[in-house]
Structure formats: structure tokens, C-alpha cells
């Protein structure tokens, strides 16, 4: 039996993209935010009859862009919630640094500043603090800016997110299901996109078995051309103080949970133990802050969510939820609507 490294150069790029911006579906609008480095892409989905709920800002993860959030944005718009999605530099239709500058000189602080520019633009447009929703390394960025006190938000949702306690174990998980990871990187000259350089590799890392092959190829076309190494490296070790982060979430005295942690049960990277550890970290911090009167909130012990998949629970400031069968990109997998529904339930209880 032969060994298949899935070694391909077809999907690797070393130059900035060119040409007009990609087309968007009806109901999704694109604007650009001017920053010192260049223009940052901001997508918006606005409902025909907006509710009074706070606006949502979505942050993509590594290799992603604002486009990955379109299914959730369309769903929320249908349910009266205005949402936005930001593409940080080097992603989507935002400005692109050169290959070497992106890989070796673009830090998580720089990417965080792009996300902040998007959040501040939304705050100005909507006249309200936002609910921040981050996926994967974008969830890491979301925790980072709250930990740094750069912004205050109504709530935080972490979807398949890099844990604030450090992501070393996450990359160990990747190496376990892709043992040729490092060897393939050598053949690719340490190109950042080597782990996702073939649709097979992308599907295995990000999606369930049910995800159609044609959709994988379309998704592959929306991956960014090259990625920052310093972004994930800046999150390998603990980078968040849970109490400090929670102090920058407002509205604790109004009742419901203010943190949502959600992932697919088929996520090979941010596995169930990773998610449960993250939930425990924030719940313990919440309980201690409430006991010390640092936040005005009632401590309600976690209880199972009725009618859920049997894994979801809510309490002590945190809702923990899972999407049965979904892979790491739960917002794009075939089960995406289940996750969107659970996000909407979380928004309604704020």
C-alpha cells in the first residue's frame, strides 16, 4: 500500500491577490474601513425589521475571512439581528502585506488592531456595544483584546476557539490526525498554508465526512493566500487572565450568561475536553469575581439544557454548547444551522 502525502502546489500562492472583490449574495453588503496600513473589509447583514438586540461582530480564524460567516449572518438577519464580519489584513478583500511580511512580521497585536477597527466602526454605526463572536484563532484574538482592555462588549461567544490558556495541545491534536504535517511543510518550503494545501487536507481538518466535495473546493478558494506564523505562535502559551477578560464584558447584573463556548462534536482540533476546560476556566473566574463583588451577578450552578443534544449546559456565567457531528468550521459545515440556532438562543437570553 502506497503512502499519500497529499503533496500539492496547486493551492499555494506567494503573491498578493489581484482583480475585483468577490461577489456577495443578496442581503450582504461590503464596506471598507480605512486604517494606517490599508483598507479593512467589513461585511454587514441587516434585517428588514431590526430588533432591539445588540449588533453582532464576527471574527474569523486563521486562513479564513469575513466570507465564512455569511450563513450565520443571513440566519441572524432573518431573525431580526444585525451582524457584521471583519476580514483582518491579509484575509478576504482587506489589504494584503507581502508574503514575507505576512508570515514573519505580522503579529497578533496587528491583527487585533484590525479587528478593533471593525468593532469601533460598528459601535459608531449602531450606537451600541457589540456582541463579539470569534472562531478558532479569531476567538483567540477576541479574548486577547478583551484581556488587554481594548474594548468592552455586551457578550462574548467563542466558537471552536483557541483557548486563552494556550493552544499547544490544539496543534498536538492536528499533528495526531496529520502525521505528515511537518514533512509536507518541508517540501513546501515552510509555506504557511501547507497544512491546508489540498482539499482532502482541508476537509479532514475542518469538516465532517458529510460535507460535499464540491463545497470543499469552493471553500478552498476563499482561504487566504498565506498566513501569519506569529499569530498562532503568540497563542501557544497562556495569554488571558480570565477575571480580567470578564471585567470587560458588561451587563452581568441583567441575568443571563454572558459567555458562550460552542464547538462541533466532530472538531478534531478544539475537542470536547478543550471546550470543557475553557468553560471551567471562565466559570471559576466568574464565581470568584461574584463572591468578591467584582461583578454584580447571581451565581447559578450549571444545569443541562433541556431539549439539547445532552452535552449542553448553562450556568455560572457561561453557556457551553455543542453542534452534533460538525467539524471545526461549524459555521460552514452541513450542520451550520444547528449552531446558528444555538447562537440565537444565547443572544435572546442576554
Cell 444545569 locates to 303
Closest CA to 208 of 72, 335, 308: 335
Cell 482587506 locates to 94
Domain span at residue 305 reads 28-348
Low-confidence ranges of the chain (pLDDT < 70): 1-4
Q: Could you tell me if residue 11 is inside a domain?
A: no
- Measured distance CA(236)–CA(174) in Å, rounded: 14
Q: Could you tell me if residue 22 is inside a domain?
A: no
Question: What confidence score (pLDDT) does residue 247 get?
Answer: 98
Q: Could you tell me if residue 133 is inside a domain?
A: yes
Q: Could you tell me if residue 9 is inside a domain?
A: no
Give the count of domains, the chain.
Answer: 1
**Within 13 Å, how many C-alpha atoms sit on residue 199's CB side?**
13
In our burial notation (b when 16+ CB lie closer than 10 A, e otherwise), range 73-95 reads bbbbbeeebbbbbbbbbbbbbbb
Q: Could you tell me if residue 244 is inside a domain?
A: yes
SS3 87: strand
Question: What confidence score (pLDDT) does residue 1 get?
Answer: 36
Q: Could you tell me if residue 1 is inside a domain?
A: no
For residue 323, what is the enclosing H or E element? strand 318-323
Q: Could you tell me if residue 5 is inside a domain?
A: no
Closest CA to 275 of 171, 142, 162: 162
Query: What is the DSSP annotation of 267-318?
Result: -SSS-HHHHHHHHHHHHHHHHHHHHTTSS-------EEPTTS-SS-EEETTE
- The CATH number that applies at residue 119 is 3.40.50.1820
What separation, in Å, do the N-terminal and C-terminal C-alpha atoms of the chain show? Answer: 55
Cell 455586551 locates to 154
Q: Could you tell me if residue 19 is inside a domain?
A: no
Amino acid at each position: 500500500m502506497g503512502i499519500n502525502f497529499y503533496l500539492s502546489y496547486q493551492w499555494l500562492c506567494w503573491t498578493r491577490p489581484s482583480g475585483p472583490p468577490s461577489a456577495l449574495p443578496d442581503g450582504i453588503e461590503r464596506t471598507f474601513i480605512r486604517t494606517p496600513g490599508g483598507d479593512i473589509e467589513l461585511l454587514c447583514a441587516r434585517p428588514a425589521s431590526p430588533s432591539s438586540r445588540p449588533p453582532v461582530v464576527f471574527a474569523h480564524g486563521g486562513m479564513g475571512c469575513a466570507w465564512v460567516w455569511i450563513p450565520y449572518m443571513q440566519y441572524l438577519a432573518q431573525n431580526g439581528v444585525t451582524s457584521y464580519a471583519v476580514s483582518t489584513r491579509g484575509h478576504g478583500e482587506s489589504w494584503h502585506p507581502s508574503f514575507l511580511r505576512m508570515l514573519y512580521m505580522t503579529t497578533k497585536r496587528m491583527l487585533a488592531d484590525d479587528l478593533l477597527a471593525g468593532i469601533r466602526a460598528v459601535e459608531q454605526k449602531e450606537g451600541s456595544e457589540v456582541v463579539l463572536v470569534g472562531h478558532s484563532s479569531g476567538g483567540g484574538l477576541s479574548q486577547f483584546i478583551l484581556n488587554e482592555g481594548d474594548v468592552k462588549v455586551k457578550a462574548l461567544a467563542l466558537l471552536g476557539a483557541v483557548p486563552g490558556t494556550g493552544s499547544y495541545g490544539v496543534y498536538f491534536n492536528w499533528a495526531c490526525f496529520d502525521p505528515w504535517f511537518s514533512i509536507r511543510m518541508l517540501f513546501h518550503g515552510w509555506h504557511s498554508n501547507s497544512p491546508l494545501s489540498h482539499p482532502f487536507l482541508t476537509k479532514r481538518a475542518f469538516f465532517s465526512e458529510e460535507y460535499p466535495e464540491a463545497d470543499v473546493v469552493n471553500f478552498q478558494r476563499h482561504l487566504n493566500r498565506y498566513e501569519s506564523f506569529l499569530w498562532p505562535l503568540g497563542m501557544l502559551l497562556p495569554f488571558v487572565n480570565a477575571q480580567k477578560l470578564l471585567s470587560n464584558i458588561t451587563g452581568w447584573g441583567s441575568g443571563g450568561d454572558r459567555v458562550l463556548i460552542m464547538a462541533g462534536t466532530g472538531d478534531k482540533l478544539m475537542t470536547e475536553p478543550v471546550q470543557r476546560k475553557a468553560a471551567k476556566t471562565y466559570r471559576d473566574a466568574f464565581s470568584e469575581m461574584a463572591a468578591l463583588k467584582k461583578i454584580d451577578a447571581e451565581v447559578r450552578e450549571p444545569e443541562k439544557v433541556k431539549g439539547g443534544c445532552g452535552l449542553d449546559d448553562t450556568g455560572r456565567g457561561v453557556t457551553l454548547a455543542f453542534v452534533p457531528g460538525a467539524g471545526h468550521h461549524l459555521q460552514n459545515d452541513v450542520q451550520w444551522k444547528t449552531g446558528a440556532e444555538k447562537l440565537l438562543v444565547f443572544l435572546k437570553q442576554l
